[in-house]
Structure 1
Amino acid sequence: MTMGLEDRSGWIALAGQAAAFPAVAGDVTAEYAIVGGGVTGLAAARRLAEIAPGKRIVLIDGKRLGQGASARNSGFAVAHESPVHADLSSPEGRARYALTNRIDLAGVAELHRLVAAHRIDCDWEDTGTIYAAHNVANFDTLHRHWKSSKDLGIDAELIERDALARRLGTSHYGLGVETRGGALLQPGKLLRGLVEALPPAVEAFENSPVRRIARAGAGWSLELDLGTVRAAKVIVGVNAFLPRLRLKRMRVFPLALTASLTRALSAEEEERIGRPDSWGILSPRPLGATVRLTRSRRILIRNTAEYARGGITPAMLAARRRVHAEGLARRFPFLGEADIEHSWSGAVCISRNERPVFEETAPSLFLCGCYNASGLSRGTILGRLIADLAEGGADPLLADAIALGGPSLIPPRPVFDIGAKLRLAWERRRGATEI
């Protein structure tokens, strides 16, 4: 049965039927073409409609609008990256962390504004993110996380074993650090709501993969299967798929993640775990498990990540689903693979130095992406700001976005392919107790 497992986000399935848009057919001409219909492209399109009234704005997605990686993540709007992974030993390192923190906080605030303004029902919760560990060997990392957060003025609380078990409904974890300022949400519902709230000035197309971007006079030509889009300015916000368009191929790379979502817990199961409020767990280890108890009373788990240039096949997804089931059983012994309703894959974009792409890479060609697994908040605010950069806007945060810098070089293939797989295997071994 699982050999033919459908790779469809549970978030999208539970969000319900989404509005459909036409594919590009024939020749289209516009002042702006935006490639990518996730949080970045939607934010850029919305901002351009505000600051460039009267200009034709075309938004293009290769598949369904709002149903790509942005609706396949774990639903964390991150406000504070773990300070443990930052260089805080120098004034320059602390300044860089503060810069990234300002961007992420602005992203959470912008998402919250949009959800409130458009009354998007996406199970939004202003709740803390808990970094938690099972293995005592990782407790020192959490103590340093807590101390660094307090030193940086971040609202953070250390949670000991018994209190953590009551908070989560499982005794699997021995120590946690809760940081506040971010949010949890249902990304499928969020993206559906953001698509439905697009301004009338934005003309949307889907199922229209861009095959090539080429210079055409003073502007650009986008070649598609059934047509061509010509635009004076182009914004590309396809994140992990930038290299497919021959952009940033030596700067960014994709990681394939897989996740599963269970059925809703029964009343008896709720009673067994103490009816805790919903929560979200991140791991102190890079490849440790991300786990959530959602507002709809389902358990989400994501505990696999790999460098798979060809994507995740149905057979691979079935195997990863079994790993998810093992992780669920360690935390909630009454849950098994039969209790999983949805399993899916998604891609995140990574750079070696954990810096994003935010630039005018050629005259009138703007790139925005590579959020290093913090896409919902960071992608939303940087998508808005790339529109300001393209249109000559004056958002005060634009200087911060530019100051983030860009990705460093990665080695050429096949050296990089071998190195990436070896590094991930090493991280998996180090984080095995947190899967």
Structure 2
Amino acid sequence: MENIWAAAPRLRPPLDGPAEADVAVVGAGYTGLWAAYHLKRLAPSLEVVVLEAEHAGYGASGRNGGWCSAELPVEAAVLARRHGRAAAEEMRRAAGAALDGIEAVLRAEGIDCDWHRGGTLYLARNRPQLRRLLAAARSRPDGWSLLTAGQARARLRAEGVLGAAHTPHCARLHPGKLVRGLAEAVERLGVTVHEGTRVVEARPGLVRTVSRGGARTGQTPAAFRRAGGPAGGTDPRIADARTGSVRARYVLVCTEGYTPGSRVLTLTSCVAATEPLPAPVWAELGWRGRETVADLSRLFPYMQRTADDRIVIGGCGAGYGEAPYDHAALRDRLVGMFPVLREAAITHRWSGVLGLHRRGEPSVHLDPATGLGYAGGYGGDGVTLAYLAGGSLAALVTGADVPEARLAWTRARAGRWEPEPLRALGVRAVLACAAGADRHEERTGRPAPLRGAICSLFL
């Protein structure tokens, strides 16, 4: 079934021939479009070109669960050990402020993406989850509020809830509407966006492309790597394609989970949506605050109540490489939490990718000597972090004296993942441990010490 966020794309002209620009941006997802937006705000005279293999938002930016959260994929204590307590706190504050920044842009640009800032409700549905919830709340003094089981059920009547926490630092949105509106906004600022234009080589001062005439569409990240990406050469199987190039002082690679190489680990997450639910069902469920919702399992489900009264649920596992997608687990978890949905139809199913760095920390980098830049490793928190990363990239390119240019992630470097097949074996082992730990906790109400310890090292 199709992606509920998808719409018939507006096909912008591909690049067909040589071009010149001050900045060439590879990828028209959130990171690339926010980088272009911030660049034009900081330096309106810059010539900025965005190159997209498919259409704006084709990748993770149009396939996620619609959480715009201020959470970071790496714990504040870990950031403090690596960069110092002040830098970790600055990073946390910047992620929180990004929510305000996105909301301000939505108002200024007239982007209607079903934005609703109701925060997140984290549910604990067994004793180990409750212990993790209490520990998380103690480590986050920035607006987290604990709820008793009764208070949680007054907000959302989910099965087996022992307690909950609410944080205001999250908004629900329609990710497809956001990325399409953002693409139109950067065009109004004078940015040129070429769709159907696959980058086959990115090096200092030059990007080489093939246009849709020969480039294949609908590729998985593995197929994207085989076809050649920003670090690769032209695939001979697309030799009949129309070629193009952009000469630019700066080249920003903003492909995140689709970036070839050994520094980004790509996982696949499944997402599904119910039919619009009738008023009697919502009367039984509650959820009047339209918070985003998750529980504290290790392979947690993330959910939202959409503007048209569906439930979108994602997570409950992750695939690696060519692993099959498991949408059945999403329905099982949904009905387990909300038995009233037993007869509700699942009308849409899709998947999306997310990128992880070796040490779990996102990074933003610009080499001033070569002009090559990169941002990514968001670990599933990219809806918000892409806005902030785009600001950091733009500040580094323009030399603007703004806080985004000095954030800790501009000093972080993504390490290399182990070579295959060790990488695949390790990832699948950790995911299996996480799934096993969740099953053990749900069945016994007790933690799974060995599996939990292994998971804590990586998740």
Normalised to the residue count of structure 1, the TM-score between the two structures is 0.87
One-letter code aligned to 1:211? V
The answer for the alignment partner of 2:178 in structure 1 is 190
The answer for the alignment partner of 1:294 in structure 2 is 306
SS of match in other structure, 2:93: helix
User: In the TM superposition, what is the alpha-carbon distance from 1:371 to its structure 2 partner?
Assistant: 1.0
The answer for the alignment partner of 2:223 in structure 1 is none
Equivalent position to 2:357, from 347, 351, 355:
351
The answer for the alignment partner of 1:246 in structure 2 is none
User: In the TM superposition, what is the alpha-carbon distance from 1:35 to its structure 2 partner?
Assistant: 0.6
Q: Deviations over 1:6-54 (max 9, x none)?
A: 4x321224xxx54331122222222221111111111111122233333
User: In the TM superposition, what is the alpha-carbon distance from 1:404 to its structure 2 partner?
Assistant: 5.1
User: In the TM superposition, what is the alpha-carbon distance from 1:324 to its structure 2 partner?
Assistant: 1.4
Task: Answer yes or no: is the 8 Å Cα contact 2:299–2:438 preserved in 1.
Answer: yes
Task: Answer yes or no: is the 8 Å Cα contact 1:83–1:148 preserved in 2.
Answer: no
Greater CA deviation, 259-268 or 391-400?
A: 391-400
SS of match in other structure, 2:46: coil
User: In the TM superposition, what is the alpha-carbon distance from 1:418 to its structure 2 partner?
Assistant: 0.8
Work out whether 1:303 is the aligned partner of 2:310: no
The 5 A counterparts of 1:129-278 are 129-150=120-141, 154-198=142-186, 199-215=188-204, 219-224=205-210, 225-232=241-248, 233-243=250-260, 249-274=261-286, 276-278=288-290
The answer for the alignment partner of 2:3 in structure 1 is 9
Task: Answer yes or no: is the 8 Å Cα contact 1:35–1:61 preserved in 2.
Answer: yes
Q: Deviations over 1:325-355 (max 9, x none)?
A: 1111112223248611111100011113221
Task: Answer yes or no: is the 8 Å Cα contact 1:23–1:208 preserved in 2.
Answer: yes
Task: Answer yes or no: is the 8 Å Cα contact 2:366–2:373 preserved in 1.
Answer: yes
Equivalent position to 1:74, from 46, 51, 65:
65
Work out whether 1:41 is the aligned partner of 2:32: yes
Structure 1: stretches of 5+ with no match in the other structure: 1-5, 244-248
- What is the rounded CA distance, in whole Å, between the counterparts of 1:274 and 1:381 in structure 2? 34
SS of match in other structure, 1:173: coil
The answer for the alignment partner of 2:215 in structure 1 is none
Task: Answer yes or no: is the 8 Å Cα contact 2:121–2:293 preserved in 1.
Answer: yes
User: In the TM superposition, what is the alpha-carbon distance from 1:304 to its structure 2 partner?
Assistant: 3.5
> In structure 2, do the counterparts of structure 1 residues 107 and 172 end up closer, same or farther at CA, with 3 Å as the change threshold?
same
Task: Answer yes or no: is the 8 Å Cα contact 1:103–1:378 preserved in 2.
Answer: no
Greater CA deviation, 424-433 or 116-125?
A: 424-433
User: In the TM superposition, what is the alpha-carbon distance from 1:94 to its structure 2 partner?
Assistant: 4.3
Work out whether 1:421 is the aligned partner of 2:412: no
Task: Answer yes or no: is the 8 Å Cα contact 1:82–1:145 preserved in 2.
Answer: no
SS of match in other structure, 1:255: strand
Work out whether 1:406 is the aligned partner of 2:413: yes
- What is the rounded CA distance, in whole Å, between the counterparts of 1:307 and 1:85 in structure 2? 27
The 5 A counterparts of 1:92-131 are 94-95=85-86, 97-131=88-122
> In structure 2, do the counterparts of structure 1 residues 229 and 321 end up closer, same or farther at CA, with 3 Å as the change threshold?
same
- What is the rounded CA distance, in whole Å, between the counterparts of 1:105 and 1:270 in structure 2? 30
Work out whether 1:282 is the aligned partner of 2:294: yes
User: In the TM superposition, what is the alpha-carbon distance from 1:295 to its structure 2 partner?
Assistant: 3.2
One-letter code aligned to 2:23? Y
Task: Answer yes or no: is the 8 Å Cα contact 1:134–1:175 preserved in 2.
Answer: yes
- What is the rounded CA distance, in whole Å, between the counterparts of 1:182 and 1:136 in structure 2? 25
Task: Answer yes or no: is the 8 Å Cα contact 1:279–1:294 preserved in 2.
Answer: no
The answer for the alignment partner of 1:24 in structure 2 is 15
- What is the rounded CA distance, in whole Å, between the counterparts of 2:346 and 2:185 in structure 1? 32
Q: Deviations over 1:145-193 (max 9, x none)?
A: 111213xxx0111111121112113234322111123322121121122
- What is the rounded CA distance, in whole Å, between the counterparts of 1:250 and 1:420 in structure 2? 14
- What is the rounded CA distance, in whole Å, between the counterparts of 1:140 and 1:210 in structure 2? 47
Task: Answer yes or no: is the 8 Å Cα contact 2:159–2:338 preserved in 1.
Answer: no
Task: Answer yes or no: is the 8 Å Cα contact 2:271–2:327 preserved in 1.
Answer: yes
User: In the TM superposition, what is the alpha-carbon distance from 1:196 to its structure 2 partner?
Assistant: 1.9
Greater CA deviation, 167-176 or 202-211?
A: 167-176
User: In the TM superposition, what is the alpha-carbon distance from 1:307 to its structure 2 partner?
Assistant: 4.1
One-letter code aligned to 1:227? T
Task: Answer yes or no: is the 8 Å Cα contact 1:168–1:279 preserved in 2.
Answer: no
SS of match in other structure, 2:10: coil
- What is the rounded CA distance, in whole Å, between the counterparts of 2:61 and 2:196 in structure 1? 16
- What is the rounded CA distance, in whole Å, between the counterparts of 1:399 and 1:77 in structure 2? 23
Work out whether 1:335 is the aligned partner of 2:352: no
The answer for the alignment partner of 2:44 in structure 1 is 53
User: In the TM superposition, what is the alpha-carbon distance from 1:257 to its structure 2 partner?
Assistant: 0.3
One-letter code aligned to 1:390? V
The answer for the alignment partner of 2:372 in structure 1 is 365
> In structure 2, do the counterparts of structure 1 residues 47 and 92 end up closer, same or farther at CA, with 3 Å as the change threshold?
closer
> In structure 2, do the counterparts of structure 1 residues 174 and 84 end up closer, same or farther at CA, with 3 Å as the change threshold?
farther
Normalised to the residue count of structure 2, the TM-score between the two structures is 0.82
- What is the rounded CA distance, in whole Å, between the counterparts of 2:110 and 2:163 in structure 1? 37
- What is the rounded CA distance, in whole Å, between the counterparts of 2:166 and 2:192 in structure 1? 42
- What is the rounded CA distance, in whole Å, between the counterparts of 1:381 and 1:176 in structure 2? 29
Task: Answer yes or no: is the 8 Å Cα contact 1:76–1:185 preserved in 2.
Answer: yes
Greater CA deviation, 350-359 or 32-41?
A: 350-359
Among the aligned pairs, what percent are the same residue? 27
Greater CA deviation, 297-306 or 412-421?
A: 297-306
One-letter code aligned to 2:398? E
